[in-house]
Amino acid sequence: MFCSDKPINNSKDDLLNRTSFSKQLAQAILAYASKDNFTISLCGKWGSGKTSILNMVVEYINDMTKDYAKTEQPIIIHFNPWNYSNSSQLTVQFFKTILTKIKNASENTALKKAGDALQHYSSIIEYIELIPVAGKYFKPLKSLSIGIGKGLLKSYDDRNSLERQKDKVIDALSAQKQKLIVIIDDIDRLNNEQIRLIFRLVNSLAGFPNMIYLLSFDREIVSRALSDEQKCDGEAYLEKIIQVLFDVPEVQMSLVHQIFFDKLYELLFRDIPCDNFEQEYWDNVFQYCIAPFIKGIRDVNRIINVYRFKYGIMHNETNCIDLLALSTFQICAPSIYNWIYINKERIAGDHYGIGTTGIEQNKVKNELLEEFKSVYKTDPEFMLQAIQTLFPKISWKSGGYTHSSETNEELRRKQKIACPTRFPLYFNLSLENIIITKWQMVESINSYNETDLKSLFEKLASENTLNEYMQELLSYVPDIPEHRLAMFLEVLLDALTFEDNHKVKRIFASNSAYKCKQCCWAIFNRLGQDQTTKEIISLIETSSLKRFSIILEMIISIECSYGRIGDSINYNYRVVEENQLDAIENSIKNKLKSLSQKCNLLDVYPFWRIYHIWNYLDKESMNNYLKEALKIASNVPKYLTLKVNIWSSEKDTGWFFKEENFSDCITLNVAYEKIVSLKRTMEFSSLKFEVKEIAVAFYLWYNSDNKEHKDITKQKVDELIPDWEEN
C-alpha cells in the first residue's frame, strides 16, 4: 500500500508530537472572551502539516465544548476558497457557507435572527455591481436577485444601504453568545487577486463580532501576493489584519527520520537478515544521499511511494540501499539523477584510483566541483559527497572521505549500482537483460545437488549463457556454504571439459572457461591451503582423463607461482604451500603412470598440459612413452602441435618447424612418412581441424626448398586440407 499524502484527521495519528501545540491553540481560541472579531494565522511551508494541525485543533475544540449548552457551543465553519474559479464566486460562496451553518443551529433564536440579517446583507452584495471593498467590478447574475423584495431592490441603489445592513448584522451577532470559528486553509493555493479578496473579506466585508478566523497559509507566498496586488508592504498588511500569528512548530527531524525508518522496515528491512545488512554503508548513504532531502512527512511519503514501486519490480536484482538513494535523487534532485545516468563510464567500475597522488585527487575533486556548479547549483559540495558515497571509483580518484575497496565481483554480488553490469538496471526498470537472476544464484549455491548442478551447467552451456552464470558465481563464491565448496569445485572442473566453453563467442569477450577457472581459484582461496592440497590430490586420483588435463593446467599455474616451472611468478596462484607441492606431484606421477597404460594421452587436447608437467616431473618416462606412441601415425601431428612455430604478419599467419625441437622423440624422415601415410585416410579425417592443419603444414614445410622461409600460410594449408580428407 502506498503512503497517503493526506493530512491526519485526529490526534491519534499524530507522529510528530504536535498534539500539545494543537491543544494549546484550541484552548487559546476558546479562551478569547471578547465579542470583537479576531483573526489568527497558522503559517508554514507547503507540506509542513498545517492542515493536520487544523484538524487536531477542531478535534480539541469539539472535545472541550461537548458539555456546553447547545446555544453556547462554537460553530466551526470550514471554507475552501480554492474550490471556486473566480472572485465573484468566492465571495458569494463564502457567505452561503456561513449561512448554511447558521441555519443548522436552529435552537438559538438570537443566532437565527443574526442569520436573517446576514442573508439580507449577502443578497445586497450579490446584487449590486460594485463591491467597494473588493475594488473590482462584476456583472451580477439575474438569478441572484430572486427572492429580494421590490422595496429592498429600490434601497439597493443606495450604496449606504450596504453599510446599514452590515450594521444590522453586527448588532444581531453581538446579541447572541455563540462564537463562529471560520477556518480557511490553503490560502497560498489561490491566485494573487483571490488572496487579496480573502483578506478583504476577513478584515472588512465579514469582520463581524463573535467571529474568529483561523487562516492557514505559507507566509512568504501570501506576503508576496499582497505586495503585488496592494502595491504595498505585504508583511505590514498582514500585521494589520492578523491579531495573532503562529508558525507551524518546527518538526524534530529525529521523529521524521524514525517515521521514515519505520516505513522502510515495514516495506523491506524485516526481510533482510541483520548479518547481511551493511550498517556502515547504510549510515553513509543515508547521511549523504537521503537525509538532506527529508524535510517533513511529505518528503518521506514521496520517497517511500516511488521506492515501493521500484522495489516491487527490482528488489531481487538491485541493492536495496542504492535503489533507495537513486529514488531519492530522482524525486528530490533530478539533475543529480540525470548526471549519474549519463556518466556511467566515469563513475562505475573498479576503483583504479588506488595509488593516485593527493595532488591528482585534489585536481579531480576541483574539476568535479566546477562541473557540479552547473549540475546542482544548490550545493555542489553535497553532490560530490553523494557521488563519492555510492561510487568507490570516483571516490578514490577525487579523495573522498568515504570509499570502499570492493572489487567488481564484490560490487556485483551485493548488486550495487557501482557495478557496471548492474548500473543500467537502476534506470530502465526492466529485467529483460537479466540472464541469471539472483533467485537462480541463491537457489543453485544453497540447494542444488551435484546432479542438478551439472544439469544446470549443461543447460546453460547449450543456451550460450554459462559465461553469465560463471560471472555471477564468481561474486557469490563467498556465499557458498562451506560443506558445498568441494562439490562445486568438482562440477566446475567438469564444466571445463565442455569444449564449447573454451571458444570465444565474440571478439574481445572472455569465454565461460576463463570465468569458470576464476571461480575454481576463488574456491581454493576459500578452502585454505591445507584443505586445497587435500582436494587437489583427491581430484587427481578420481578424475577422468579430460578433467585430469584441466587440473594439470591449474597445477602448472601453482608451480609457476613458486618459480618451479617457467620464469613468470604470480603470487595469486599460491593456493597451497610450496612444501605441499611434493605430495601433489607424487599423485600426478602415479596418475600419469596409470593413464599411460590404459589411454592414449595424446588424444587429450590440448596435449601441452600433460606434456609440460610430465616433462618437469619425469622427462625420461615421458620420452619413452612418446617414442612408443609416435609409432602410430595419427599421434604424430598431435605431438607436433607442441613443437610448431607460429608466425604472423598484417596479411596472413602460418607455421614453420625446427627439427631440433622434436628429434629427441622422432626423426624428421619418420615423422614425414607417418604424416604422408595419413593422407586420404579415416585417421586423418577423424583428427581435430587444428591438428589437420599441423599435419598439412608439416608436409609443406618438409617439401619446401627453404625451410627457414616462412611461406607456409594458413590460407595455403586450409586450401589443401580437403584433398587430404578420406574419399
State whether residue 433 is helix, strand or coil. Answer: coil
Do 71 and 212 fall within a single domain? Answer: yes
Predicted pLDDT of residue 693:
95
Compute the average pLDDT of residues 547-558: 92
Do 457 and 379 fall within a single domain? Answer: no
User: What digits encode the pLDDT tens for the residues 622-637?
Assistant: 999 999 999 999 999 9
Do 449 and 595 fall within a single domain? Answer: yes
Q: Is 6 contained in some domain?
A: no
Predicted pLDDT of residue 141:
39
Q: Is 512 contained in some domain?
A: yes
Predicted pLDDT of residue 638:
94
* Position 461, amino acid: A
CATH number (domain holding residue 240) = 3.40.50.300
Q: How many domains does the chain have?
A: 4
Instruction: Quickly state the pLDDT bin for 500 (edges 50, 70, 90).
Output: low
CA distance 576 to 525: 9
Do 578 and 671 fall within a single domain? Answer: no
The listed range with the strongest mean pLDDT (78-92, 101-115, 543-557, 674-688) is 674-688
CA distance 496 to 177: 94
Q: Is 4 contained in some domain?
A: no
Q: Is 289 contained in some domain?
A: yes
CA distance 81 to 83: 5
* 3-state SS, one letter per residue, for 100-122: HHHHHCCCCHHHHHHHHHHHHHH
Closest by CA to 145, choosing from 137, 136, 156, is: 156
* Position 423, amino acid: F
Which of 247, 282, 299 is a domain's end point?
247
What residues form DSSP beta bridges with 656? Answer: 645
Closest by CA to 328, choosing from 281, 290, 377, is: 290
CA distance 601 to 300: 69
Top-confidence residue, 683 or 424: 683
Q: Of 152-156, 193-197, 283-287, 527-531, give the lowest mean pLDDT range.
A: 152-156
Which of 247, 274, 292 is a domain's end point?
247
Do 623 and 651 fall within a single domain? Answer: no
What are the DSSP calls for 43-85, one per residue? Answer: E--TTSSHHHHHHHHHHHHHHHTTTS-TTTSPEEEEE-GGG-S
Grid coordinates belonging to 519: 571461480
User: What digits encode the pLDDT tens for the residues 335-349?
Assistant: 999 999 999 888 887
Instruction: Quickly state the pLDDT bin for 274 (edges 50, 70, 90).
Output: low
Do 486 and 345 fall within a single domain? Answer: no
Q: Is 716 exposed, middle or buried (0-12, 13-18, 19+ CB in 10 A)?
A: middle
Q: Kind and range of the H or E element at 647?
A: strand 645-648
Do 622 and 612 fall within a single domain? Answer: yes
Structural domain range at position 354: 253-428
Do 623 and 643 fall within a single domain? Answer: no
Predicted pLDDT of residue 578:
94
Mean pLDDT over the full length of the chain: 84
Grid coordinates belonging to 543: 578424475
Per-residue burial over 684-696, b if 16 or more Cβ lie within 10 Å, else e, is beebeeebbbbbb
Q: Is 433 contained in some domain?
A: no
Which of 189, 222, 247 is a domain's end point?
247
Q: Find out whether 259 and 15 touch, Cβ atoms under 8 Å.
A: yes
Do 596 and 459 fall within a single domain? Answer: yes
* 3-state SS, one letter per residue, for 525-586: HHHCHHHHHHHHHHHHHHCCHHHHHHHHHHHHHHHHHCCCCCCCCCHHHCCCCHHHHHHHHH
Q: pTM value?
A: 0.60
Q: Is 33 contained in some domain?
A: yes
Q: Is 571 contained in some domain?
A: yes
* Residue with the three cell numbers 579425417: 685
Q: Find out whether 184 and 213 touch, Cβ atoms under 8 Å.
A: yes
Do 621 and 645 fall within a single domain? Answer: no
Instruction: Quickly state the pLDDT bin for 138 (edges 50, 70, 90).
Output: very low
Q: Find out whether 490 and 457 touch, Cβ atoms under 8 Å.
A: no
* Residue with the three cell numbers 593456493: 575
Q: Is 270 contained in some domain?
A: yes
Closest by CA to 52, choosing from 80, 13, 25, 89, is: 13
CA distance 528 to 533: 9
Q: Say if residue 132's pLDDT is above 70.
A: no
- Judging by DSSP bridges, how do beta strands 244-247 and 38-43 pair with one another? parallel
Do 176 and 199 fall within a single domain? Answer: yes
CA distance 502 to 609: 15
Q: Find out whether 688 and 640 touch, Cβ atoms under 8 Å.
A: no
Q: Find out whether 470 and 435 touch, Cβ atoms under 8 Å.
A: no
Q: Kind and range of the H or E element at 216?
A: strand 211-217
Q: Find out whether 117 and 169 touch, Cβ atoms under 8 Å.
A: yes
Do 285 and 420 fall within a single domain? Answer: yes
Q: Say if residue 432's pLDDT is above 50.
A: yes
Instruction: Quickly state the pLDDT bin for 509 (edges 50, 70, 90).
Output: very low
